[in-house]
Amino acid sequence: MRFVASVLALILALPAASAGAAEYVPSRHHWEHRDPAAAGFDPQRLAAAVAYAQAHADLQPGDMRQALVDYFGAREPDYSVHGPTKPRVGAAGLIVRHGYIVAQWGDVARTDMTFSVAKSYLSTVAGLALADGLIGSLDDRLADYVDDGSYASPHNAPITWRHMLTQTSDWQGTLWGIPDWADRPEGTDRAQWPRRALHAPGTHFKYNDVRINALAYALLQVWRKPLPQVLKERVMDPIGASNAWRWTGYADSWVELDGLRMQSVSGGGHFGGGMFISALDHARYGLLFLRRGRWGERQVLPAEWVAQAHAPSAAKDDYGLLWWLNTGRKAVPQAPESAYWAAGFGGHYIYIDEVHDLVVVLRWDNDFPGTIARILGALEAAPAR
């Protein structure tokens, strides 16, 4: 009950959308631009913020498959790439205020890897399953939904949907040939990795793509159809996203359900695969959350789910349901505490700021706090109108 009360309080605390411009959403094939000054920015300060973002592009090698091997292989001795990758080209970004584009740079229409930003899309698919009654409660045990033995052990049996969505499950097992301990193993004694001490579900946060992929597979079991199809029909088409985005899994993550062969997708790009999408489509998704799940006259996502998604979790107060939070203004001191974002390896972000009616999408940015601080500084520096 206390959690429900906190979510209700969060909804009531959100600033009410003003009439007119604040309700604008783009059509499928046209997104209006606004002059920065008309949108409340100091044009020179905003231009400087954009220049800062361009100058602080993440310098990952162009060959992303090799970049993943070089980066994660140095930390995970058994690491290998299981899913597709795409070459890195260059930084890009969008700034959206009151629904209008006020600045952009780079190729915002290019479909690119997005790594763990995919987790926030996966969260939405879980929210839709909850809204449709396919999941009764986030506090239900996955063992009651997935009957393949992966939640049969005494440790895994109590794991709930909430534990998986807050990355506090400490699920133990192997999926698509990758054991849970192989992702970001702790300590230097390899012999101890498979015998690590286990944490009771819900008590310990651990960022782990194997468990995220287990969540994606569990949601596939619930939906009984590919998760990209669910996302396309229920979210991406209603908000006018392009048809160029793709959500993939691994070569060995194909399964058969009800006589049909389908792929279980990856909730990130740690092992390759995941969400391949443009900055423009990211911005539409961010605007949907800024509008509390509403797109024009249509409520695409329940407002209650949007609020739950960025409510602090018990074990980690700056993490919600696969969204990062600015709790205590620790991550971005210049941003409101209510700001939240999706984040992925290599500098990929969807930043949502209800206080300033603002969405910022960054691709390949290596100083997220600095870029956001400068964008907000351009807003604060705008002359009174």
CATH assignment at residue 127: 3.40.710.10
Q: What local confidence, expressed as pLDDT, does residue 236 receive?
A: 99
Residue 19 included in any domain: no
Confidence band for 381, pLDDT divided at 50, 70 and 90: confident
Residue 113 φ then ψ, to 5°:
-60, 150
CATH of the domain at 307: 3.40.710
The Cα diameter of the chain in Å comes to 65
pLDDT in tens, 6-15: 444 444 444 4
| Judgement on whether residues 282 and 362 belong to the same structural domain of the protein | yes
**What pLDDT does 380 receive?**
79
Q: Is the pLDDT of residue 282 over 70?
A: yes
Both 161 and 254 in one domain: the answer is yes
Q: Answer whether residue 36 is part of any domain.
A: no
184 and 289 both lie in a single domain: no
| Per-residue pLDDT reduced to its tens digit, 66-112 | 999 999 998 898 899 999 999 998 899 999 999 999 999 999 999 99
Domain count, the chain: 2
Please determine, for residue 249, whether its predicted confidence score (pLDDT) is greater than 90.
Answer: yes
Tell me the β-bridge partners of 352: 340, 359
Residue 187 has a pLDDT of 80
Identify the domain boundary among 241, 265, 289.
265
153, 172 Cβ separation under 8 angstroms: yes
Question: Is the per-residue pLDDT at 202 higher than 50?
Answer: yes
Interval 10-24 mean pLDDT = 49
Tokens of 318: 């700056």
On whether both 154 and 253 belong to a single domain, the answer is: yes
146 and 256 share a domain? yes
Considering the domain architecture, whether residues 249 and 290 belong to the same structural domain is answered as: no
Reported as half-sphere exposure (CB side, CA atoms, 13 A), residue 337 has a value of 8
Q: How high is the mean pLDDT of the chain? A: 93
Domain boundary among 203, 232, 265: 265
Phi and psi at 288, nearest 5°, equal -60, -45
Specify if 212 maps to a domain: yes
Residue ranges with strand state E in 70-176: 92-97, 100-105, 112-113, 174-175
Name the token pair of 40: 């409340």
Please state the rounded mean pLDDT for residues 350-379: 98
Please state, in angstroms and rounded to a whole number, the distance separating the CA atoms of residues 197 and 181: 11
Percent of the chain with pLDDT over 70: 93
Domain assignment of residue 138, given as a range? 120-265
pLDDT at residue 193, as a whole number: 85
Over residues 135-177, the pLDDT tens digits come to 999 999 999 999 999 999 999 999 999 999 999 999 999 999 9
